[in-house]
Amino acid sequence: MSTRRIVVGVDGSSSCTDALAWAARRAAQRAARLVIAVADDWADPGEWTPVGADRLRVALGRRCGDVARAAVHRVRTDHPGLPVDSVIGHGRATDVLLRLAISAETVVIGRRASRPVGEPPTFAVCEVLVDRTPVPLAVVPQLTRQPVRHRVVVGIAASPESQRLLPIAFDAARHGGRHLDVAICWYPTMLRLRDRSPRSEPEARRWAAEALAGWRELYPDVHTRVVVRWARPVEGLLDAADGQDLLVVGRDDEHHPMRTHCTAASRIVRRADTPVLVVPVPSLVHDTVPAATRTRVPLADLLGPAQDPVVP
């Protein structure tokens, strides 16, 4: 029985259908257990009407159950044998997913560019999770086209923290198309004259070759290449990831006024047409959440006694 968990949030929308399919493929590649989470985002009927609160609560619970069962059925149809659970959590989607993230190795959510009137703003959920999730967060947009080059792209800079994205990127490439692009966005500015950024494209390539040397030995089956973009980080990474399988970016937990990693990650997630894996840097998953906590905590304990049981 697998103790590795990948948590995916679903709400029955088409964007979450793409995220569910992506999460199921990732779980199958890593022999992980897939946990499908449905949040009763309007669990407090008092916010809506003082009349018929019980009936509204029952209706909301029934709808969440239907969404969870449909998602489980889809996964079991597409991936027979994949261990899958589903759980309904009361409260806001962000709170439910953050509680489940404690025991997950990855959290997956969907993103759509627009929403029908009356539906909750999904990017508000996305933005909060990008900023607060303690483990890698995969944001899957509505996939209007299939990847054409099947490569993983990782954006790094000349810093030890940024280089800690490399093992996650190499692992993703090993389970995917076995091709990895290491993107360095080289855009000298007055603010960078005093930092460790490369001063020229040849210097950037030399620095990248040194950073990749050890990882190339550990992952000899992953083909790597260095991509240097003369652009700001957001524009350069979006261009490098266009049409690819996955973009891996860092999120800096140290909100220093001169650092923009978190802001850049949010802007990339908002605009990317490619799935984006946002990794907390420097506090990565193995430093933020102890392994025993990630793998052994029961789902019921994470969500509390008031939550609905796992849907069969």
- Those residues whose C-beta lies under 8 Å from the C-beta of residue 35, and which sit 6 or more positions away, are 5, 6, 7, 8, 84, 85, 86, 87, 100, 104, 299
pLDDT at position 281 over 50: yes
Query: What is the DSSP secondary-structure string of 121-160?
Result: -HHHHHHHHHHH-SS-EEEEE--SS--SS--EEEE--SSH
| Lowest model confidence (mean pLDDT) among 41-50, 62-71, 169-178, 206-215 | 41-50
User: Is the whole-model pTM more than 0.85?
Assistant: no
pLDDT digits (tens, 9 = 90+) for 201-256: 787 788 888 888 888 889 999 999 988 888 888 888 898 888 888 999 988 654 44
Query: What is the DSSP secondary-structure string of 170-232?
Result: HHHHHHTTSEEEEEEE----GGGTTSS--SSHHHHHHHHHHHHHHHHHH-TTSEEEEEEESS-
Superfamily of structural domain 5-135+289-303: HUPs (3.40.50.620)
* Long-range Cβ pairs for the range 295-303 (8 Å, 24+): 295/3, 295/4, 295/5, 295/103, 296/3, 296/103, 297/102, 297/103, 299/35, 299/85, 299/87, 299/100, 299/103, 302/99, 302/100, 302/102, 302/103, 303/87, 303/89, 303/96, 303/99, 303/100
Q: Which of 164, 102, 93, 88 is nearest to 133 (CA)?
A: 102
Give me 237's structure tokens.
């990474």
pLDDT digits (tens, 9 = 90+) for 19-40: 999 999 999 988 999 999 998 8
- For residue 248, the cross-strand partners are 154, 277
pLDDT digits (tens, 9 = 90+) for 105-151: 999 999 864 444 344 445 577 888 888 888 999 999 987 666 556 78
pLDDT digits (tens, 9 = 90+) for 153-198: 998 877 777 788 899 999 999 887 789 999 888 766 544 544 556 6
Does 152-284 match 5-135+289-303 at the fold level?
yes
Architecture (CATH level 2) of domain 152-284: 3-Layer(aba) Sandwich (3.40)
Q: How far apart are CA 165 and CA 276, in angstroms?
A: 13
For residue 66, the number of C-alpha atoms closer than 13 Å in the C-beta half-sphere is 8
> Where in the chain are the domains?
5-135+289-303, 152-284
Q: Are 128 and 107 in contact (CB under 8 A)?
A: no
